[in-house]
Structure 1
Amino acid sequence: MHKFCSNCLRATRNLKTIKRGILRLADSVTSLYRCLSINETATALRPFYFVVHPDLFGQHPREREINEESLKKLHEYLTSLQKTGKATPTELVFYVRPQKNKDLRSVKLHLNSESLRSTVTSVLSSVHLPLDFVHNIPKKRYRPVEIRWDPSYYHVTGKKNPDKEYYKRRKDWTLLDWLHKHSNKAVAKRLLCQQIQQEIAVLEQLVVSEIGLKDLIWKNDWGFIHCLASLKSFQRLHHEHPGVTRHALKDKTLVFSKQTGVSAGGDIVLSIEAVPTDWLKMLSLVDAYKSMVNRLPYMERKLSELLANIHISHHDRLIMAEEYELLLNQILNVLRCSQVDVDRYLHDGDLSHLQLIVEGGEAPLTLSTSGQFIVPATVPGSMIVKFIAEKKEIAFTLIQDMELLMKMEYVIREQCMHRLQLTSLDRDESVTPKQMITCCERLLDDAVYLSELSGGSVRVSNYYAVMKDGGVSIPWNWKSDIS
């Protein structure tokens, strides 16, 4: 009996030890402080890359090699911190981009912190770059990692086992519920971005007037801080090479995107992900694209003539002149061999009231919901001609319907913006004008309850989200508490 009690006592002590260990492990899961994400780290260090990138040291091969090696070691250090939270102390040397009439200078970095945030701060501070972006990233705790413990954990700790709720569906939000929960976050982001947006607007006007640009457009999903840094880098490039930038861009539209080149419409496109030396190379080659851009309207006219004067249209997406010339060349060669089919199926018609868009080889031959023929350049000519002949009446009906819907959408969107006091209201490409109209009508019906949208921007899509600039995304078929 005594031996039995002794065993029970030992088991109880072991059980308590296990319990303490489990509780410490559970607490450790939720007590980690939030470090910077990979995207946040890359964005924060982008200004640093602009001043130490090896491509900036073409005339200094030794310094270029040193910077290449140091960037490689810095990347390894940051990767180690991201994956394990630890890294071997490292000493790096970087040469900084020379300013006008100044010699090259070097900086030494001693990396020995196990905090990604403090490491990024040290790197930026070494070359006197602003720390606003890093400081604006909140130091909040991670959300608890969702762990499904063994049932023995809940037996030992006495905690409730949430396993039955594990597969519960996420909350099916109504618009009011979602706004009540997220509107404060949206307002905070909006206020944080307003000053940066104002600075971008002022700098845009300055760049446009200094160079004589026709327009300056952004076609990317980078945040405002990144856009501001790129705009400042471009302004510095202009001040260092005013002759090149004015010659290439005067009376032209400049587009910051994820590509570099000249668009099919003749706009100059610079990648926001590239370094200024790449921009300079592109701007120096702009004249070489003139003849290509001038050929495109001629090629479109030839294509139109081969298909009974059908109107050649374009997608909203940015397409480069080189890519578009190749596509036009392909489809022209295909259709020149199919004029027998054109004469057979389209001989008695004029298709100038219809629209055709030339696409890459992966796209399907289809008729869009807005009435445009989407034609891959590699589809056999006979198939293209037959498809157009079969669908031309439907296409014309769709175009007429779309024109009416677009007018209706414009009117109700303006009403909605005025009634809800929005700064902007637009929609994703995935949302049709008809869906947008339905959404706006319902917003007007419930407008008296939607004061939390006032002063903000709304994007109609298929999901709820607070965007980087503090605007909100709502599904077009949002659920109402009222109607």
Structure 2
Amino acid sequence: MLSMHSDLFILQSILISLVNIPENGNLKSPAWFSGFRSVSFTLHTNDVLSTVMNVLKSCSLPVEHMKGLEARAETPKGPAEAGVPFYRPIKWDKSYYTFTGFRDPEQELQQARRVEPTLSLWLRNNEPEATKKHNASLPRREELSRLKKELCQQFDLADIRWQRSWGVAHRCCQLQSLSRLSQQNPEALINLQGHTVVFADQSGMNASGHVILGTMDVHHQWTKLFQQLPSYRSLQQQTEWLKERISLLLGGTQVVHMERLGPVQPIAEHYSTLSTFHKNLMSRRLRLHPRSLQGLTMLLENDRSNPCLHEMGHFIIPTNCNPPKLQVFLQSHAHEARQRTKRKNQLQVEEEAVMKQCLQSLSLRSLSKEPSVSSSQMILCCKRLVEQRSPLMQGLHICVSHFYSVMQDGDLCLPWDWKS
């Protein structure tokens, strides 16, 4: 295979040949003055050089200038010179990650390659930058809080959330857009009463019944969604009915959906999954006591082949799972599921207590964690933070993650297993 440089040279040679005017520049000679003529040729090889040579010969064009290149192409190439597929990874501008909330893989790779410093050293080096960014973001934070409070009170919203970790400025813009719509067309937002609004990638209603507003959508699309909310609520009621029927068939096991574990699942897709699973259960008569599995939970997955028990105590069940096989699995793992669920609940209680202690002891403005950080990891991290009591963290927003980072609004990301 020829190198890219050679391929470009060959293509350039075609252009040279096609416009190869005689050196004397006599355009009135018979060969040039006779006008265009049709030519035809057949491609017999998949080799670039041979193909070009055939094209030139078929068109009665000179090929002398190709001889040197032909000789080079016939020279055996070593492994290092052998042609390799040309690959150029997409490299997005930094603003893309800021706007979308996605993680910058290049930045994370650079962070991973660095030798991880101790927490105290990293704080000394980065606390000034974090404080500066935080102070600069205070007006936007106040504006964000004001807009959120006003919209929730005006339209009786349960809450306003964000699916991605957008910065404060982007969140403000999204709330300002919703506020402008409420001023221009207040009747359109009446159907939002009692709902939780979540800003995400696409508009709709998710499996939890929250109203999803696509951040790239215009007011017309939001208004259309608000008009469709009554039908969405009807679909949500049917979804709840299916969950109740499934619970009765499975001894009290509740079907749950955890938004934080994955992307937003539309309510229609969730309903379809529940309907398929319910029909599958109805096809075979199960013999489960109505309350034998009370208190247990399960997730349904379309792309799973076998049921399993998650470490946090909930079952993960394929939508098309064989009912008798499912009954045996649930009954045989019920005790272990209860033990894991009990342990999970204990960890959550302990996590809330230690987070509250950490928040107060270090005088933090806020303390949160990424969904990928488990309760046990968060507990260990907070206990160590309380023991270290670094004064540099006072008044800052802390997010426990898997890496160090100073976010655009001054929030600090710390790895849960930071080095002391």
* TM-score of the aligned structures, taking structure 1 as reference length: 0.61
One-letter amino acid of the structure 2 residue matched with residue 199 of structure 1: E
Within a 5 Å distance, the mapping from 1:13-412 to structure 2 comes to 38=93, 40=95, 170-246=114-190, 248-317=191-260, 318-339=264-285, 342-343=286-287, 346=288, 350-361=292-303, 365-412=307-354
Return the alpha-carbon distance in structure 1 between the equivalents of residues 120 and 374 of structure 2: 24
The superposition leaves residues 228-268 of structure 1 with CA deviations (integer Å, 9 ceiling, x where unpaired) of: 1222121121222111222x212332222223112333332
| Secondary structure of the structure 2 residue equivalent to 1:301 | helix
One-letter amino acid of the structure 1 residue matched with residue 214 of structure 2: S
Return the alpha-carbon distance in structure 2 between the equivalents of residues 43 and 458 of structure 1: 19
Within a 5 Å distance, the mapping from 1:410-429 to structure 2 comes to 410-429=352-371
One-letter amino acid of the structure 2 residue matched with residue 374 of structure 1: I
Match of 1:60 in 2: none
Return the alpha-carbon distance in structure 2 between the equivalents of residues 362 and 319 of structure 1: 16
The superposition leaves residues 104-133 of structure 1 with CA deviations (integer Å, 9 ceiling, x where unpaired) of: xxxxxxxxxxxxxxxxxxxxxxxxxxxxxx
Q: Of 391, 394, 414, which aligns to 1:454?
A: 394
Q: 1:469 to 1:456 in 2, by over 3 A?
A: same
1:252 and 1:268 in contact (8 A); partners too: yes
The superposition leaves residues 18-42 of structure 1 with CA deviations (integer Å, 9 ceiling, x where unpaired) of: xxxxxxxxxxxxxxxxxxx735279
Q: 1:169 to 1:218 in 2, by over 3 A?
A: closer
The superposition leaves residues 343-370 of structure 1 with CA deviations (integer Å, 9 ceiling, x where unpaired) of: 2xx4597101211122342586322221
* 1:419 to partner: Cα distance: 0.8
1:424 and 1:457 in contact (8 A); partners too: yes
Mean Cα deviation higher: 360-369 or 218-227: 360-369
* 1:325 to partner: Cα distance: 0.2
1:43 and 1:226 in contact (8 A); partners too: no
Return the alpha-carbon distance in structure 2 between the equivalents of residues 336 and 218 of structure 1: 38
1:224 and 1:469 in contact (8 A); partners too: yes
Return the alpha-carbon distance in structure 1 between the equivalents of residues 342 and 395 of structure 2: 35
Q: Given the alignment of the two structures, is residue 444 of structure 1 paired with residue 386 of structure 2, yes or no?
A: yes
1:311 and 1:351 in contact (8 A); partners too: no
Q: Of 388, 406, 414, which aligns to 1:466?
A: 406
1:185 and 1:470 in contact (8 A); partners too: yes
| Secondary structure of the structure 1 residue equivalent to 2:350 | helix
Q: Unaligned regions of 5+ residues in structure 1, if any? A: 1-36, 47-142, 147-167
* 1:383 to partner: Cα distance: 3.7
Return the alpha-carbon distance in structure 2 between the equivalents of residues 42 and 316 of structure 1: 22
* 1:290 to partner: Cα distance: 2.4
2:207 and 2:257 in contact (8 A); partners too: no
One-letter amino acid of the structure 2 residue matched with residue 256 of structure 1: F
| Secondary structure of the structure 2 residue equivalent to 1:394 | helix
Q: 1:39 to 1:283 in 2, by over 3 A?
A: farther
Return the alpha-carbon distance in structure 2 between the equivalents of residues 392 and 303 of structure 1: 17
The superposition leaves residues 196-228 of structure 1 with CA deviations (integer Å, 9 ceiling, x where unpaired) of: 111111122222233333332222222222221
| Secondary structure of the structure 2 residue equivalent to 1:285 | helix
RMSD of equivalent CA atoms: 2.7
Return the alpha-carbon distance in structure 1 between the equivalents of residues 386 and 368 of structure 2: 15
Q: 1:252 to 1:363 in 2, by over 3 A?
A: farther
1:464 and 1:474 in contact (8 A); partners too: yes
One-letter amino acid of the structure 1 residue matched with residue 362 of structure 2: L
One-letter amino acid of the structure 2 residue matched with residue 452 of structure 1: L
Return the alpha-carbon distance in structure 2 between the equivalents of residues 408 and 299 of structure 1: 34
| Secondary structure of the structure 2 residue equivalent to 1:256 | strand
One-letter amino acid of the structure 2 residue matched with residue 353 of structure 1: G
Return the alpha-carbon distance in structure 1 between the equivalents of residues 160 and 220 of structure 2: 20
| Secondary structure of the structure 1 residue equivalent to 2:317 | strand
Q: 1:349 to 1:291 in 2, by over 3 A?
A: closer
Return the alpha-carbon distance in structure 1 between the equivalents of residues 157 and 350 of structure 2: 34
Return the alpha-carbon distance in structure 1 between the equivalents of residues 121 and 366 of structure 2: 22
Return the alpha-carbon distance in structure 1 between the equivalents of residues 290 and 203 of structure 2: 44
* 1:303 to partner: Cα distance: 0.6
Q: 1:288 to 1:225 in 2, by over 3 A?
A: same
| Secondary structure of the structure 1 residue equivalent to 2:295 | coil
Q: 1:381 to 1:188 in 2, by over 3 A?
A: farther
Q: 1:423 to 1:320 in 2, by over 3 A?
A: same
Return the alpha-carbon distance in structure 2 between the equivalents of residues 38 and 479 of structure 1: 32
The superposition leaves residues 40-74 of structure 1 with CA deviations (integer Å, 9 ceiling, x where unpaired) of: 27979x9xxxxxxxxxxxxxxxxxxxxxxxxxxxx
2:304 and 2:317 in contact (8 A); partners too: no
Return the alpha-carbon distance in structure 2 between the equivalents of residues 424 and 363 of structure 1: 41
* 1:400 to partner: Cα distance: 1.0
The superposition leaves residues 131-170 of structure 1 with CA deviations (integer Å, 9 ceiling, x where unpaired) of: xxxxxxxxxxxx9xx9xxxxxxxxxxxxxxxxxxxxx962
* 1:415 to partner: Cα distance: 0.9
One-letter amino acid of the structure 1 residue matched with residue 238 of structure 2: R
The superposition leaves residues 257-291 of structure 1 with CA deviations (integer Å, 9 ceiling, x where unpaired) of: 22311233333221122222211111121122122
